[in-house]
Amino acid sequence: MAEPPIALDRVTAGYGPCGVLRDVTLAVAAGEMVGVLGPNGAGKSTLLRVASGVLRPQLGRLLLDGRDAAKWTAREIARTVATLPQETAPVFPSSVLETVLLGRFPWHAAFSFESEDDVGAAEDALRAVEAGHLRDRDLASLSGGERQRVLLARALCQGGRVLLCDEPTAHLDLRHQADVFALLARLRDAGRAIVVVTHDLDLAARACDRLLLIARGEVIAHGAPRDVLTASNAQIAFGITVSVREQGGAIHVVRETPDLQRKNR
């Protein structure tokens, strides 16, 4: 049986003497998408930093293809693991093609320039996310949804079998949220191992094969969406009362809130 492309083995990690994550284990197979859920400050971003090789665990190991990533160089890790960050505004003027070509950096020798093959890979990645028509646009001129497609193309251009996504639908409208998750599902079906951090419980339940729910750095639940997204787990993780409904095979989590409508006087 093949080793999973990425696995966290009993990882404790954080900053300084205090661990933000404590004893977290997660393995993601090729062709699988796992959603990571939890309240703000739960340790979700720390988990992604460990999975990307940016943050070394204090205890436990990051395994890539069954091998300890501590023995890998940063360039080797970048050839295996690509990251889709939260949608951010560009710092320097650049075209869409120039932005996507940044994904080829791990494959270049020092001080080398992109080749025709690199440009071809960037154009292929843009077509894969249905953004080929944006090739020559200024990145700053794009809408939030268009920019997120370009950042996803950059991650695809980087290559590798693992894709880590940090709030890929943040600041996007409903249509673009669904579009991004549809793209991720296609990449999953093409064989990538995908980890998605998200606050959208309904989208995660529909798109992900498994969910990992964490709070205060510890795993609250892990498994199939219907087993993780329960009223009791939501109360433990988020401290709120919800009702969970399943309709047409889709799970819906609805927060129970007081009536906020203005009363007639």
Task: Give the global pTM.
Answer: 0.88
Assigned domain for 219 exists? yes
Assigned domain for 111 exists? yes
Assigned domain for 1 exists? no
Assigned domain for 260 exists? no
Contact in structure between 157 and 104 (CB atoms under 8 Å): yes
- What is the structure's pLDDT at 82? 94
Assigned domain for 138 exists? yes
Residue 189's domain spans which residues? 6-255
Assigned domain for 264 exists? no
Domain count, the chain: 1
How many residues in the chain?
Answer: 265
Q: What is the CATH number of the domain that holds 54?
A: 3.40.50.300
DSSP codes, 192-233: -EEEEE-S-HHHHHHH-SEEEEEETTEEEEEESHHHHS-HHH
- What is the structure's pLDDT at 170? 80
Assigned domain for 95 exists? yes
In order of 66, 87, 118, 250, the CA distances from 124 in angstroms are 30, 21, 10, 33
Strands, sheet with 18-28, edge to edge from the N-terminal-most edge strand: 18-28, 6-15, 59-64, 67-68
- What is the structure's pLDDT at 111? 56
Count Cα neighbours of 100 within 13 Å in the Cβ-side half-sphere: 32
- What is the structure's pLDDT at 108? 74
- What is the structure's pLDDT at 116? 86
C-alpha span between 30 and 234 (Å, rounded): 29
With a cut of 50, list the residues of the chain below it in pLDDT.
none
Assigned domain for 198 exists? yes
